[in-house]
Every structure is written in C-alpha cells, then in structure tokens.
C-alpha cells in the first residue's frame, strides 16, 4: 500500500522577506534611485519642499480662503463656467481644433500686432468666389444662428442674468 508523502512547508516570515528585498533594492534599482535622488535634489534647490511644508502648516487657513472664494457669486460663476468650458472643449473634434489652431497661427503668426491692410470692396467681393472663404463664412453663420436661437430660448424662459 502507498504511503502519503509528507509535505512540510516552513513558516513564512514576511518581515524577513521585506528586509531582504530592501537590502537588494539598491543594487537592483540603482539607476532609478539615482534619478530619484537627482529629482529630490532639484526639488530641494527649487524650495518646493519649503512651500509644501508651509502649505501643510497653513492648510486650515488655505481651506477657509478657498471655501470663502468659492462661496462668492463670482466664484460660483467661475466654477460653472470652467465646467461648461471643459464640456465645450470636449465636444469639439480634435481635428477641427487643430484646423482652428493652424488657421490662427497662419493668420496671426508670431507677430505681436499683425499688419493687415484693409482690402478694397472689389477685392472682398473677389474673395467670395473662393470655396474656402464661403465655407468659413457658412460655419460662422451657422454658429451665429445657433447662438441666436439659444439666446432666444434663454430669454423666453425668464432666466435673468444676475
């Protein structure tokens, strides 16, 4: 008849395992540790730790100030506008936003005040022959029409600005 094999598992010492891992860590992660030390040194030189210690010691005053500012009408409007702006930016397709950014860069460039001579009336009329300009004007018209509809709906619902 077969005899059972005895299996004896030595008790596990989790603390000793952690100490062993800690002793081996400098050798295994030397480059990462050196990078971390360099980062800590730069943060120390920039006095970031002093600022953080100051913020932690004054956290109650900071919270009171932040809550006080958030409870004002302007603070509430700013927070609501920030949320609406975030939703608005999220609803714009990135390719369209890239097109807008490129157009702004090409139109205004890096000049502080772009010099644009006003075109003649005939020149303006000639520009309307180009599809690109008509496409842009149609987009602006659609936006203005939608904005007008929204203002009409908001005005008829009795919502008064404060």
Print the domain residue range for 56: 30-91
Residue 123 forms part of a structural domain: no
Q: Look at the chain and count its residues.
A: 162
How many domains is the chain partitioned into structurally? 1
Residue 69 forms part of a structural domain: yes
Phi, psi of 75 (to 5 degrees): -65, -40
Phi, psi of 10 (to 5 degrees): -65, 145
Residue 71 forms part of a structural domain: yes
Residue-wise pLDDT tens digits, 20-60 = 999 999 999 999 999 999 999 999 999 999 999 999 999 99
Q: What is the DSSP letter of 157?
A: T
Q: How far apart are CA 137 and CA 131, in angstroms?
A: 10
Q: Which pLDDT score is estimated for 10?
A: 83
Task: Look up the pTM and report it.
Answer: 0.49
pLDDT > 50? residue 162: no
Q: Which pLDDT score is estimated for 106?
A: 82
């Amino acid at each position: 008849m077969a005899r059972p094999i005895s299996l004896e598992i030595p008790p596990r010492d989790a603390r000793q395992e952690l100490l062993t891992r800690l002793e081996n860590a400098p050798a295994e992660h030397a480059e990462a540790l050196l990078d971390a030390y360099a980062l800590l040194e730069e943060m120390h030189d920039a006095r970031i730790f002093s600022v953080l210690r100051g913020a932690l010691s004054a956290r109650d005053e900071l919270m009171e100030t932040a809550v006080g500012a958030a409870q004002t009408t302007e603070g509430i409007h700013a927070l609501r506008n920030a949320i609406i702006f975030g939703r608005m930016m999220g609803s714009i397709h990135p390719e369209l936003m890239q097109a807008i950014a490129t157009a702004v860069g090409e139109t205004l460039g890096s000049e502080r005040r772009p010099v644009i001579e006003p075109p003649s009336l005939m020149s303006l009329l000639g520009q309307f022959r180009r599809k690109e300009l008509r496409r842009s004007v149609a987009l602006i018209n659609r936006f203005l029409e939608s904005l007008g509809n929204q203002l009409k709906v908001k005005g008829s619902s009795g919502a008064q600005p404060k």
